[in-house]
Chain A
């Protein structure tokens, strides 16, 4: 049982929904980013999704692109994000942490995939979401990561038809992340009514919790979407406040509102 499995098991006892918050690691700098991260569990976040900055984030909209640029300018990298996880784990051994990013900074970093997996496990990472690794490339990272006890969380999308779905969920564990819209992060609002049947379809195939992300930016939307799934993810709306340089308490207060929305579903 991973921390992610424990979290969903705990939530399912009361029928509660998971609130997943995304933030870019090292944005706007290491210390501020760590301070925000440490405040997330207290604000009601069930699972932390921590972005690994990359120069070429092809699946991300302007908000998260800018966050990655800020993080890189402040010396951010996969190595520094792993440092953040280590620092976070000194005070919190319960909140699941999922690293999210792109394959090249894992693959081409000194030491490559093997070193990354060893360090991620040792740092206290629970799961990985790597946008540009479809099931066709499972041998690259998914299989060795699972072997090491990490959850490999796959994205399912509106274009994932019934033919592909079995392959998409095959080596997935922890939960399935349903991308509610075709497009990039920070895009148009997700429609709960359209999402509901997709969540049911994926849950049946995966036998795993299904969490919905992309296009959720308000407590009301978090409530609506979480209501038809096992949880929801908010990213760009939080990252936008960080980008505006808002004080950490203000950011955490917004996160708490979102969490309350999701939890009241």
Chain B
């Protein structure tokens, strides 16, 4: 551990937008002035009580926050070890944690006078959240989504269209989240004057990784307060676990606990068909190495010539060859541990939670649950573990049915 060297893990990024060597502002000149404007506006908003008052009001009355911190008795009983709590982000309006961040960015876009909102989406959760908030504020919304994801997340595509958004299927590359982000950046650079790019995760050029993290930290702050209410004043979790694609739900849960050395922090990447040389996975931290993509330096899946590799995951929301730069830094600092689970393990955990707790989780947090299933039995009964249940699984039932060999399409 690096506690001896670093006073706090919560001070980043620096003025260059770096977390150690990670992060930065690797964008074309056309976008640079806009990114600097955004940073300045965000710094102003952060210190503006009226900005946070509006956020709090929307979080409470529109999103339904705080989301419950739920003790999962039958899951705990079945695993026979750690006491497991679920942070119920799937109960938010739109069904995932994504809306926490979207509200913040859309309020910023309004402050900056932007009238056109673009977003990328993988599983469709960020796209739905963006379409929703744009409808709420009467803003034009265009969502870029990989053509492959349009197909495997059809319910969310329909939702976005109902909400008045234009969904643009992206056919470049393999048609997943990475390609959607490329096309969103191409749109932004073309329509730079009136357009706000609402990024869905803790990645992209500075200030996005820090800004999205700050908007998602409500998850960890609530968890801290709610656990103290339920387990006694001052009681911290012994471990916090979250799934990681880009890493926004994880960073939101982890960040308020970074300077609590007693809290073990575990990020779970999508191991796809196994983290090995076949590269049929999306585990950037466990199977990648540092590179520069989409505006930041971070761990990437790539070949020896620096060409980006297409990963694989059953979960569209984790199907991304990179990861937020702060996670890359936390890994190198040794403050957080990063593991991976396979598609099959995630599918099993998905079914376990349905059966034991009456909660249908999304495939993304099913990865976190799969790791919990692995480690909880060996932990003592007084070990408190909080898992971020970042989204609900309604959108995934077609994918799951297909993998279970059931035909539910009529």
Contact = CB atoms under 8 A, between A and B. Distances in A.
Given A108-B289, A183-B190, A77 B27 contact: no
A155 B28 contact: yes
Interface in B28-44: 28-34
B48 interface: no
Contact of A133 (B26, B30, B186, B304): B26
A158 B190 CA distance: 11
B196 to A, nearest CB: 15
A34 interface: no
A110 B186 CA distance: 29
B299 to A, nearest CB: 11
A182 B24 contact: no
A160 B29 contact: yes
Give the residue among A61, A157, A160 with the most B Cβ atoms within 10 A. A157
Given A108-B291, A109-B304, A164 B178 contact: no
Interface stretch (A50-58, A236-244, A249-257): A50-58
Interface stretch (A6-14, A39-47, A84-92, A99-107): A99-107
Contact of B306 (A57, A104, A168): A104
Contacts of B307: 53-55, 72, 77, 105
A4 B172 CA distance: 35
B25 A137 contact: yes
Contact of B29 (A54, A107, A159, A183): A159
A232 interface: no
B30 A137 contact: no
Interface in B287-309: 289-295, 297, 300, 302, 304-308
A56 B170 CA distance: 13
A187 B187 CA distance: 12
A158 B182 CA distance: 21
B16 interface: yes
Given A103-B26, A136-B16, A164-B33, A182 B294 contact: no
Nearest to A167: B32
B193 interface: yes
B117 interface: no
Interface residues on B, range: 35 or more
Interface in A148-166: 154-161, 164
B163 interface: no
Interface string A23-66: 00000000000000000000000000000011111110110010
A85 B302 CA distance: 25
B32 A104 contact: no
Nearest to A163: B33
B192 interface: yes
Interface in A58-81: 58-59, 61-62, 65, 72, 77-79
A64 B192 CA distance: 21
A184 interface: yes
Given A108-B300, A187-B190, A56 B178 contact: yes
A131 interface: yes
Nearest to A80: B305
B291 A164 contact: no
A64 B191 CA distance: 20
Contacts of B308: 55-56, 104
B192 A159 contact: yes
Given A56-B178, A136-B32, A109 B306 contact: yes
Contacts of B182: 56-58
A179 interface: yes
A109 B289 CA distance: 11
A154 B29 CA distance: 9
Interface residues of A, number: 43
Contact of A184 (B33, B189, B292, B300): B189
A107 to B, nearest CB: 6
A68 to B, nearest CB: 10
Nearest to B309: A55
Interface in A95-137: 103-110, 131-134, 136-137
Nearest to B37: A159
Contacts of B172: 62, 65
B185 interface: yes
Contacts of B73: none
Interface string B158-202: 000000000000001100001000100110011111000000000
Contacts of A161: 33
Contacts of A187: 190
Interface in B280-336: 289-295, 297, 300, 302, 304-308
A183 B30 CA distance: 8
Contacts of B24: 136-137
A109 B305 contact: yes
Contacts of B33: 159-161, 164
Contact of B30 (A56, A105, A182): A182
A78 B189 contact: no
A227 B13 CA distance: 46
Interface in A187-243: 187
Contacts of B190: 182-184, 187
A110 B293 contact: no
A156 B32 CA distance: 11
B29 A78 contact: no
B173 A107 contact: no
Contacts of A78: 305-306
15 contacts: A56-B178, A56-B294, A56-B308, A58-B28, A61-B186, A62-B172, A77-B305, A107-B297, A108-B306, A110-B305, A134-B26, A156-B29, A159-B29, A161-B33, A164-B32
Given A103-B292, A110-B304, A132-B26, 15 more contacts: A56-B294, A78-B306, A107-B292, A108-B300, A109-B305, A134-B26, A136-B24, A136-B32, A155-B28, A159-B31, A159-B34, A161-B33, A182-B30, A182-B193, A184-B186
7 closest residue pairs by CB, A with B: A108-B306, A105-B306, A183-B190, A108-B291, A77-B305, A157-B30, A55-B308
